[in-house]
Structure 1
Amino acid sequence: MTTARDIMTPGAECVRSDETVLAAARKMKKLDVGALPICGTDDRLKGVLTDRDIAVRVLGSGKDPDATRAGELAQGEAVTIGADDEVQEIMATMAEHKVRRLPVIDGHTLVGMVAQADVARALPDPEVGELIDALSVA
């Protein structure tokens, strides 16, 4: 049984909810990632900030990335996966919520991130197609 812990990228770094979107973008560049978990001052996960959020919801809306806080872009409760959840559960969660990246938590602690590509590498070929189809439907 392959779990999130087996396929995740460990050691995910958060952007703090009170940090600016500009600081988050710089952190994304430095880490060469397209998404960062948003963590509050209590170290609890508040959401995920993506490069698309920055482009569309900040820049495309005419907001100042140096004045907009990452926490302003957290939408509702963060969708996560447990570290010991199996690949099938990860795939189902991604498909249900139409997300390509999931923070991996152990209890309430962020332990990594799992991306669509990580799941695809862990699945047999026919299931990869199902995952991509599920995420591609608008």
Structure 2
Amino acid sequence: MTTEGVSKTAGQVMHEGAECIGEHESLRRAAEMMRDMSVGALPICGDDDRLKGIITDRDIVIKCVAEGKDLDQTTASELARGLVWVDANANVEEALAKMEEHQIKRMPVIDNHRIVGMITEADLAKELPDSKLAEFVHRVYARG
């Protein structure tokens, strides 16, 4: 964890090449993609290749499985939540502030109107000083 981390951009600390689930694809397909890529969240992209939201493994379990919905009939767009994202050129402080404000642990990174990656709490953990990381964890996991 470096003190230089806070002066980096979101694009420098993100995981590159986020793969989208199509807005019309099933939650089963989303779960399979998450399994195959070992990730807990996927950006949802529309037919226009633009970001429409994000879906997490928890969303699938709570809002589909637990509700008795059909994984093959429910689409990713039906569970799309929040369009919180950060520009690739924004500094880590801005990304951190958005994640804290919306109490999210994963956020898409956009460059030139296209998704280029995801920034996660693990990415931040590698870059932030211990004090800043502790503050982030407290704010994101706090329930107000």
TM-score range, shorter chain: over 0.9
Name 2:20's counterpart in structure 1: 14
User: TM (normalized to structure 2)?
Assistant: 0.93
Report how many residues are paired.
137
Deviations 1:65-111 (A, max 9, x none): 11100010113x51000101111111100000110000000121100
Partner Cα distance (1:134, 1:90) in 2: 14
Name 1:54's counterpart in structure 2: 60
Partner Cα distance (2:94, 2:10) in 1: 9
User: TM (normalized to structure 1)?
Assistant: 0.97
Residue identity matched to 1:104: V
RMSD: 0.8
1:89 aligns with 2:57: no
1:133 Cα deviation from its structure 2 partner: 0.3
Which of 25, 36, 43 is 2:42 aligned to? Answer: 36
Deviations 1:27-65 (A, max 9, x none): 111111100000000001000010000110110111111
Residue identity matched to 1:134: R
Name 2:85's counterpart in structure 1: 80
Name 1:112's counterpart in structure 2: 117
Compare relative contact order (CA 8 Å, sep 6+) and give the higher one, 1 or 2.
Answer: 2
Which of structure 1's runs of 4+ aligned residues deviate more than 6 A?
none
Name 1:23's counterpart in structure 2: 29
Residue identity matched to 1:92: A
1:134 aligns with 2:139: yes
Name 1:67's counterpart in structure 2: 73
Residue identity matched to 2:76: A
Q: Percent identity?
A: 46
Q: Which runs of 5+ in 1 are unaligned?
A: none
1:119 Cα deviation from its structure 2 partner: 1.0
Name 1:2's counterpart in structure 2: 8
Which secondary structure state, in structure 1, belongs to the residue aligned with residue 124 of structure 2? Answer: helix
1:98 aligns with 2:66: no
